[in-house]
Amino acid sequence: MIRFHNTLSGREEEFQPLDPGEVRVYTCGPTVYDLPHIGNFRAYVFEDLLLRFLRYSGFKTVQVMNLTDVDDKTIRGARASGVSLREYTEPFVRAFFSGLALLRIRPADHYPRATEHIPEMVAIIKGLLDKGVAYRKDGSIYFSIEKFPAYGRLSGINPDDLRITSRIGARLESDEYEKDSARDFALWKAPREGEPSWETDIGPGRPGWHIECSAMSSKYLGPSFDIHCGGVDNIFPHHENEIAQSEAYFEKPFVRYWLHCHHLVVDGEKMAKSKGNFYTLRDLVEARGVDPSALRMFLVGTHYRKVLNFTLESLEQSAAALKRIKDFVYELENRIFPAAKTDASLDLIACAERTFREGMEDDLNVSAALTGLFDLIRKANPLIQGKKIGLNEAKRLLDFVYRVDEVLAVLPERRDLEISDDLRAKIEERERARKSRDWAAADRLRRELLENGVVLEDTKDGVRWKIEKKTGSN
């Protein structure tokens, strides 16, 4: 049974999708006004972990991640650079996608861009005007939070408690604001000199940030869906406003489970593009030679609802943990295991698998989940050294590690342990030759194996093999 901490209720709840077998997820994507930093990638890696775990648990998933390519910040950036919005945002869109690939984040099913969904936004705004929930003022259109009594349910703010009753009817143009400014927010902004503007049924202008996500989520996932994610900074005002817009318009519950990851911080401060205290992937991977899979290990390794403090030392610790898993895989892939059937580690696998599943089912508690894997590595290693494990079991151990890696996605591609019986027999024959000190035969067999692409390495723990990659293809 999977349980998630739902921001809406403030507690852990049992997870049940609306349609059995399929989970529909919306994840707030990047505002493409600058290079993404690793704080942003913490959010995307957390969402990837969630989706991978849902699939590991047997669900089909549909994920939508929007690209905010029109808002206050992108417009400001484009104006300052004297280029069109499209020209300005494009390099940041590319950097975002290359970062996803580098961190092995599985692509979402849809990446809608705000600028390509203006008609969908206009339809909702029009509907909200018709229902009397939105109103016009000076060419802009605002959502009246007074007309939506459930306003504040997600973030816990209560417009009355905040002594802003007198300010209800006070309006906000800017896309982002602090909690104590819960006020009517802009759905549609009147055209301004030097800003992009669309001619639409509701008049000329451009959308506010929040309406983008209500329009794009309903288009691809329907008016009600299962999970909505983002960083905690999205809770207010962005997600609060999404709920208000979507539920007022569709008159249906919007989202069942809200999952928010905490921030990646540097020296206690949120890593943010606007603060300039950020590392991009390029800073770490290209300039400092950080291994992207170690970075991914660092980002997934801390529970998503905890603050994650970024330091180069903690990155090294994650790299060391990853190395322990990789060494174990190397051990299993490169040794010659006897063909004999054995089952010394079957209990260990069953136990580790249970620990992994139960840890992850508990609101994606990765560190608890991984204790099972590390325990297995500690106990299986002596069995391997003691030659108590056969080929069938080595494969089962690898099956398990790679099942875990479908969720973690930190290991190199799996190697095929199969080599032909013929080559296996030759390796064993060479072992016998070596033991009887028949060096000429041993060398001849090594050469023959090499001609077939099998490279042998003699170690103190016995012979290892690997298939040499064919070169010369380019």
Cβ proximity to Zn ion: between 274 and 420 the closer is 274
Measured from the CB of residue 64, what is the shortest distance to Zn ion in angstroms?
10
Cβ proximity to Zn ion: between 28 and 244 the closer is 28
Please work out the total of residues on this chain that contact ligand AMP, with binding judged by CB under 6 A. 17
Cβ proximity to ligand AMP: between 233 and 291 the closer is 233
CA separation for the pair 92, 106 (Å, rounded): 19
CA 36 to chain centre: 14
Chosen from ligand AMP, Zn ion, none, partner binding at 61 (C-beta under 5 to 8 Å by type): none
Binding mask 128-167 for Zn ion (x = CB under 5 A): ----------------------------------------
* Distance (Å) of CA 312 to CA 301, 317, 326, 409: 15, 9, 21, 21
Sequence-distant (6+) residues with CB within 8 A of 148 are 133, 244, 247, 248
Cβ proximity to ligand AMP: between 38 and 336 the closer is 38
Tell me if 244 contacts Zn ion by CB under 5 A: no
Binding mask 269-288 for ligand AMP (x = CB under 6 A): -xxx----------------
Given 17, 30, 112, 372, the residue binding ligand AMP (CB under 6 A): 30
Q: Are 240 and 157 in contact (CB under 8 A)?
A: yes
Stretch that binds ligand AMP, among 170-178, 260-268, 313-321, 339-347 (CB under 6 A): 260-268
Crossing angle between the packed helical segments 38-56 and 85-102, to the nearest 10 degrees: 50
Stretch that binds ligand AMP, among 80-88, 268-276, 412-420, 452-460 (CB under 6 A): 268-276
Q: Kindly write down the DSSP assignment for every residue of 26-82, as one continuous string.
A: EE---BTTS--BHHHHHHHHHHHHHHHHHHHTT-EEEEEE-BB-SSHHHHHHHHHHT
Measured from the CB of residue 343, what is the shortest distance to ligand AMP in angstroms?
44
Tell me if 28 contacts ligand AMP by CB under 6 A: yes
Please work out the total of residues on this chain that contact Zn ion, with binding judged by CB under 5 A. 2
Going by their DSSP bridges, the two strands 3-6 and 184-189 should be labelled as: unpaired
Cβ proximity to ligand AMP: between 31 and 115 the closer is 31
Given 40, 63, 318, 345, the residue binding ligand AMP (CB under 6 A): 40
CA separation for the pair 73, 79 (Å, rounded): 10
Tell me if 205 contacts ligand AMP by CB under 6 A: no
- HSE-CB of 472 using CA atoms within 13 angstroms: 2
Q: Are 13 and 257 in contact (CB under 8 A)?
A: yes
Chosen from ligand AMP, Zn ion, none, partner binding at 213 (C-beta under 5 to 8 Å by type): Zn ion
Stretch that binds ligand AMP, among 50-58, 192-200, 267-275, 377-385 (CB under 6 A): 267-275
| SS3 call for 299 | helix
| SS3 call for 327 | helix
Going by their DSSP bridges, the two strands 255-261 and 206-207 should be labelled as: unpaired
CA separation for the pair 420, 464 (Å, rounded): 16
Stretch that binds Zn ion, among 28-36, 273-281, 300-308, 377-385 (CB under 5 A): 28-36
Residue 208: closest CA among 143, 126, 146, 253:
143
Measured from the CB of residue 294, what is the shortest distance to Zn ion in angstroms?
30
Tell me if 28 contacts Zn ion by CB under 5 A: yes
Binding mask 220-259 for ligand AMP (x = CB under 6 A): ----------xx-xx-------------------------
CA separation for the pair 34, 96 (Å, rounded): 10
C-beta nearest to ligand AMP: residue = 231
Q: Are 302 and 308 in contact (CB under 8 A)?
A: yes
Tell me if 64 contacts Zn ion by CB under 5 A: no
Residue 146 carries which side chain, given as an amino acid letter? E
CB atoms within 10 A of CB 289: 7
Residues 70-129 that bind Zn ion (CB under 5 A): none
Cβ proximity to ligand AMP: between 235 and 377 the closer is 235
Residues 202-221 that bind Zn ion (CB under 5 A): 213
* Distance (Å) of CA 439 to CA 103, 422, 426, 442, 465: 47, 21, 14, 5, 18
Chosen from Zn ion, ligand AMP, none, partner binding at 263 (C-beta under 5 to 8 Å by type): ligand AMP
Which residues are 60's β-sheet partners?
A: 22
> Is the peptide bond between 237 and the residue preceding it cis, with omega within 30 degrees of 0?
yes
Tell me if 42 contacts ligand AMP by CB under 6 A: yes
Chosen from Zn ion, ligand AMP, none, partner binding at 231 (C-beta under 5 to 8 Å by type): ligand AMP
Measured from the CB of residue 397, what is the shortest distance to ligand AMP in angstroms?
35
Stretch that binds ligand AMP, among 37-45, 51-59, 427-435, 439-447 (CB under 6 A): 37-45
Binding site for Zn ion (CB under 5 A): 28, 213
Binding site for ligand AMP (CB under 6 A): 28, 30-31, 39-40, 42-43, 230-231, 233-234, 261, 263-264, 270-272
